[in-house]
Structure 1
Amino acid sequence: MNSAPRKPEDLVRALRAAGIRDERLLEAVRTTPRAGFVPAEQVTAAYRDVPISIGQGQVTTQPSLSAMMIEGLGLGGSEHVLEVGTGLGFQTALLAQLAADVVSIEMRPDIAREARANLARQGVRNVELRVGDGSGGVPDRAPYDAVLVSAAFPEVPAPLAAQVRPGGRLVQPIGPGGHEEVVCFEHTASGLRRSRVLTLACFVRLQGRYGFPPDDAEFA
């Protein structure tokens, strides 16, 4: 018997099993077709809780891991959010359902083009997608209530820390790329403060001026 998940509800069950409790987030996963945000040859894996290769050394974030990071932001619906690392746009679409608006930045133009088309096909209109160096954030749209970084670096880059609104939150994998703690930070009166570790995970490296050099080897 083939038990591979084939429907959005299978993915929702996998997220519940992983400990996700935010019902708004689970509903966003239920109503956002991941099959519309993966390469055509990977559609059969869309509703499995697995990362998916999207080319250029990049992979999508595993859905349960993405959900843990989003849940860590504690979104209530009114937030202005920055996402660093758009990928093909599935996580972006989830954030767009849970916040007022999303600014997402992707370094690779070809991947950004696909993400833009995916989001448009799904009718997602409250996302501004930029192509550029995400390690420096998007300062002209700052400050942000929440920042989600989908790539690893040993510390939060100073420009990203500076773009979080007082009282806001930032979630980022902290480590060298390939072996990380996913950490939730809060912006307090004394600056960005490490709040808690959400999980352990493996991420690609954050590349750019305030991350690793762009010619560094990628981690799958």
Structure 2
Amino acid sequence: MDRYKHLREWMVETQIIERGIRDKRVIEVMKKVPRHLFVPEDIIDSAYDDRALPIGYGQTISQPYIVALMTELLELKGDEKVLEIGTGSGYQAAILSELAKEVHTIERIEPLATAAKKRFENLGIQNVKVYIKDGTEGIPEEAPFDRIIITAATPDIPEPLIKQLKEEGIIVAPVGERYSQYMLKAIKRDNELERHYLIPVAFVPLIGKYGWKEE
């Protein structure tokens, strides 16, 4: 465990702080959450590498810097209700659980959702709820949300998610083509999104009614 703590601190110093992440709460939680518990056992020694890693079913756990960047862009204060689209291994949701009041996360691939739930239970994380469904439709019965984060590439922000975001709420997502996107931070004002496009990124596609179709 000491070894992984050292690797986490190295990851934060070299991959996150050096690239400009400044939110102290984000930095501290990235040092705290055990990323190695969210990757397959056969690649556990790569958990703190500066890259995305495969987690099965054609999905990935995002590069640590991208996780930190998306989290910082959400501007969390601690009392927010957050919707995450794309649970994956659960790492991003675990980070969010330390920074927000409650996290609702959707995963369409049942084995990934089940494994993420077990990780949350093992780590004593009690403010994350996992749903198995089409993430592009959101969770209307739990709306509105203060923040929404999409961790898969979408051609545009799904209309149901815009409706489920509070006025002055923030949504962060990779938006663009199926295999290349730009990170978007958008603020909802007068039922419209004020959009700010940031760095180029490459995420796995968001599959669903309001996303991409399966190939």
What is the CA–CA distance in structure 2 between the aligned matches of 1:120 and 1:7, rounded to whole Å? 24
For residues 123-176 of structure 1, the C-alpha deviation after alignment (integer angstroms, 9 at most, x for no partner) is: 111001101100111111110000000111221110011111001000111112
Partner of 2:207: 207
What is the CA–CA distance in structure 2 between the aligned matches of 1:166 and 1:78, rounded to whole Å? 16
Partner of 1:105: 106
The aligned amino acid for 1:20 is: I
What is the CA–CA distance in structure 1 between the aligned matches of 2:171 and 2:31, rounded to whole Å? 25
What is the CA–CA distance in structure 1 between the aligned matches of 2:155 and 2:164, rounded to whole Å? 18
Which structure 2 segments of 5+ residues have no match?
Answer: none
Provide TM-score, normalisation by structure 1: 0.92
Which structure 1 segments of 5+ residues have no match?
Answer: none
Name the SS of the counterpart of 1:7 in structure 2: helix
Percent same amino acid at aligned positions? Answer: 36
Partner of 2:67: 66
Written as runs of structure 1 = structure 2, the 5 A alignment for 1:42-121 is 42-121=43-122
> What is the aligned-residue RMSD (CA, Å)?
1.2
For residues 14-68 of structure 1, the C-alpha deviation after alignment (integer angstroms, 9 at most, x for no partner) is: 2111211111011111110001111101110111221110111111111101111
Partner of 2:10: 10
Please say if residues 10 and 48 of structure 1, whose CA atoms lie closer than 8 Å, have aligned partners that are also in contact. Answer: no
Name the SS of the counterpart of 1:178 in structure 2: coil
Does 1:129 pair with 2:130? yes
Please say if residues 68 and 198 of structure 1, whose CA atoms lie closer than 8 Å, have aligned partners that are also in contact. Answer: no
Name the SS of the counterpart of 2:10 in structure 1: helix
What is the CA–CA distance in structure 1 between the aligned matches of 2:162 and 2:36, rounded to whole Å? 33
What is the CA–CA distance in structure 1 between the aligned matches of 2:52 and 2:174, rounded to whole Å? 16
Q: Give the Å deviation of 1:177.
A: 2.2
Please say if residues 167 and 191 of structure 2, whose CA atoms lie closer than 8 Å, have aligned partners that are also in contact. Answer: no
Please say if residues 77 and 98 of structure 1, whose CA atoms lie closer than 8 Å, have aligned partners that are also in contact. Answer: yes
Q: Give the Å deviation of 1:186.
A: 0.3
